[in-house]
Structure 1
Amino acid sequence: MKFASLDPASVSPRRSRRLWPWLLLSPLLLIAIAATLAVQSRPLVEPVDGGLKPEEIQSTKDFLRRNDPRRLQASPHRLLRIEERQLNLMLMQLAQRYGQGRGAAQIQLQAGTARLQASLQMPALGVWLNLEARLSQTLALPQVEELRLGHLPLPAWLAEAALRRGLGHLALSVQAQRAGELVESLRFNPQELLLGYHWQADSLDHVLGAFWTPDEQERAQAYNRRLVEISAAYPPGSSVSLALLMPPIFELARARSERPDADPVAENRAALLTLALFSTGQRWSKLLPSARAWPQPLPRMVTLAGRDDFPQHFLVSAVLALEGSGPLADAIGVYKEVADSRGGSGFSFNDIAADRAGTRFGLLAKDAPRSLQALMRVGLHELDFMPGVADLPEFLSAEAFQQRYGGIDAPAYRQMMAEIEARIAALPLLQQANVPRL
């Protein structure tokens, strides 16, 4: 059977006009089909119900502390063994952090191969974005053999480009590159990952330096310079209320946010980081190696409600929340209090209140940055942003906490937390900013 060839000249103008809409719609139709295949109604990995548990955060902190390369025996070449359970715990925490409580991830390790799965909820659409990748071991770093987005299989050659795009979305591309330069090999064993890396005396400086763009470094230096001026106004050995420190710092944030190319959220972030470091007795050089050459603020005790630990709770939680990790800030606050009850100062609900107030402050700094800057005026009172907590139970031992409240999932504990949330919601700063409750 012979088919007649199509002569372009034989296509009538009317028929040509009919074909054009189909030619234009075809790419859109393919995109719609791909988008439909990429999302699913259920997660591939279930997120942790109720967020991170205190003991899970403690496990990760202990693991990182034990394997801090600065504390290990001096050697340029290191080998780190990570059990699958511990690796999954860290992956879940990262997914929770960058997924703002809506993400989950896990990995399954076998001899020479690994299967990575991740899920991200998309509430606006009522669907889940699921990713699954199969990695194979090589002499150096692993390579992606298979990549699937929902029901949509993707060619392996797209994996590297997709990974770069994902890292760029997280603003981690440079940092990941610097950290990746330290990694020599990744080997997969059943339920175990072996990470080979090299470490020199200046390795940490290289990695930390990559976390800060030139604009961020200039911003940090500006707030550090302002804090140097503020700290010099108080006599040596004196204490200063956080309510006195925040107005001049945020006045600088407001002024800088008026520039045409300004990013008010970034200004608030730098302001809060500067205050958080100062309240904990740290310097910017802890995060940014080049800051060692900057003038340093004079040490002063920062207080809130007459205590020097409340500003630390408040500001660290604020920074974590501003970074997009409200659930993580909650979990870290609970973790510290549970840890204290097991061998430290005891479980304190007033510390939890400072954590939660800081979290709300950090979210306000992110969601309504200019409103917050305008509210940070001279005459700011501590009770504008921190609730009264003098009547809240504190210094509870593990036994007393369990006996009185029955654990962090018990009704008595939830009732106390509801009381704390009500006090925070009534804070004048939040009322004036007119922001929704968490």
Structure 2
Amino acid sequence: MRSRTVVFRCLGWLLLALLLALPLGAALMLQTAASVPPPAAISPADVERARLFLRRNDPRQTPPGELRTVRVGQAELSLLMNYLSSRYPRAAARLQLRPDDVRAEASLALAGPFWLNASARLVPNGGLPHLQDLRLGRLPVPDFMASWARERLLERWTDTEEARLARQLVKHVGLDGGQLTLVYEWQPDGYRRLLDSLLPMPEQARLRVYADRLLQLAGAHGGAPMSLSAALPPLFALALERSAAGEDAAAENRALLLVLAAQASGRGLGALLPAARDWPRPALEFSLHGRPDFPMHWLISAALAAHAGGPLADAVGIYKEIADTRDGSGFSFNDIAADRAGSRLGQMAVSAPRGLQQRLAAGVAELELLPDVSDLPEFLSAAEFRQRYGAVGSPAYRAMQQDIEARLDANPLLSRAHLLP
């Protein structure tokens, strides 16, 4: 009897210690400021840097079966983390390459004024890195607990197509001279499997629904360009119907916009999804305010914003206009306005998906999709742009941007002050 009393007394003290440890642990973990600042805005220079990096490391240039090494420096890694952080407004993360490890930090906004800050060392070991020196706020986490959490996360990830593809392609991950090195073996079907992993079968089936509906619309319309104001309502009516039947409304909107953007680009879905190369493709062009270029800007920006967040869509739009001053049609602020209008609608497509479906399914006018921007400067050569505006970000350039934003804010559909519920 005495031994049983001692046991219960010990259990009682242990329970009391745990109850006291919980608030202490929470106090150590939670902080009132983020350790990682918000990501910087993605700039046209960032888009150019990413484009050149992808061109240098295009795996399709590697013969099947050969090993290839990709080297990622701090600038490219920071750009990637900046892009990923921009997709999650309540979180931010950064990685710092060091001679023998990678310093990882992240901040997550919680309720009220509280933040959960985390830091750790990622130590390469040939495969996925080991996690060491993990801290949650001011609370150190023992390495064995961090390793246990890492293994549980890996167990959940290993059954995905991305994991299976990574295991077959990636042969080594390491650090060399302050750069992250990735050695992989390219396979004949690697590109197809990579794209398929980004768009799993349920998403491909969703895209096919809207591709088929667009094909029907094109057949009924004839050969003339179709106004976006005529194309959007029946497609969003279909999205509304499918959402009411239980499909994810934001996913429906993303698929719809991606199908339209691929059609407007002139390349079709087959450029993104190998399986779509066998789908019937409509002979259809779009127009907006009587112009064929506005729909391309509007739809591609909308799809980018719906899939990757507004800042990336905006940066890509500005980058294209800068490139046009060098070897294209010239810099056009009305194209920038079309980019921004599409970007705003793309953000609404995921932030207020059902409301947007209801609004557009009921019909929409062209001026609601893009206000009159015919008076904005366009077709500016590089010399003309420098003479009138200096550079992107100059006071004169920002004034033009503010003018565009004010026009969009005055638009009942696109206004930031009247986001759909």
Which blocks of at least 5 consecutive residues in structure 2 are unaligned?
none
Q: Distance in 2 between matches of 1:382 and 1:361?
A: 13
Deviations 1:379-420 (A, max 9, x none): 522111212111111222333323322333332222221211
Q: Distance in 2 between matches of 1:82 and 1:117?
A: 16
Which SS does the other structure have where 1:428 is aligned? coil
Q: Distance in 2 between matches of 1:331 and 1:123?
A: 29
Question: In the alignment, is residue 250 of structure 1 matched against residue 247 of structure 2?
Answer: no
Q: Distance in 2 between matches of 1:352 and 1:337?
A: 8
The structural deviation recorded for 1:162 is 4.9
Q: Distance in 2 between matches of 1:164 and 1:7?
A: 38
Deviations 1:148-169 (A, max 9, x none): 2332222334446656888999
Correspondence for 1:229: 216
Correspondence for 1:86: 76
Contact 1:385 1:428 in 2 (8 A): no
Q: Distance in 2 between matches of 1:374 and 1:280?
A: 26
Q: Distance in 1 between matches of 2:130 and 2:365?
A: 56
- TM-score, structure 1 as length reference: 0.83
Contact 1:45 1:118 in 2 (8 A): yes
Change (3 A) 1:239 1:109: same
Contact 2:62 2:186 in 1 (8 A): no
Contact 1:136 1:142 in 2 (8 A): yes
Superposed CA RMSD: 3.4
More helix by share: 2
Correspondence for 1:305: 289
Tell me which moved more, 337-346 or 313-322.
337-346
Q: Which amino acid aligns with 1:397?
A: S
Q: Which amino acid aligns with 1:46?
A: P
List structure 1 segments (4+ residues) > 4 angstroms apart after TM superposition: 9-12, 25-29, 157-170
Q: Which amino acid aligns with 1:278?
A: Q
Aligned residues: 418
The structural deviation recorded for 1:255 is 1.0
Correspondence for 1:107: 96
Change (3 A) 1:61 1:131: farther
Question: In the alignment, is residue 36 of structure 1 matched against residue 27 of structure 2?
Answer: yes
Which SS does the other structure have where 1:409 is aligned? coil
- TM-score, structure 2 as length reference: 0.87
Which SS does the other structure have where 2:295 is aligned? helix
Change (3 A) 1:429 1:60: same
Correspondence for 1:320: 304
Correspondence for 1:219: 206
- Decide which of 260, 265, 272 is 2:257's aligned counterpart: 272
- Decide which of 373, 386, 406 is 1:422's aligned counterpart: 406
The structural deviation recorded for 1:218 is 2.4
Q: Distance in 1 between matches of 2:103 and 2:319?
A: 28
Contact 1:346 1:398 in 2 (8 A): yes
Q: Distance in 1 between matches of 2:20 and 2:48?
A: 49
The structural deviation recorded for 1:185 is 0.2
Contact 1:100 1:327 in 2 (8 A): no
The share of aligned pairs that are identical, in percent, is 41
Correspondence for 1:8: 5
Which blocks of at least 5 consecutive residues in structure 1 are unaligned?
none
Which SS does the other structure have where 2:229 is aligned? helix
Correspondence for 1:197: 184
The structural deviation recorded for 1:27 is 5.1
Change (3 A) 1:121 1:331: farther
The structural deviation recorded for 1:309 is 2.3
Correspondence for 2:349: 365
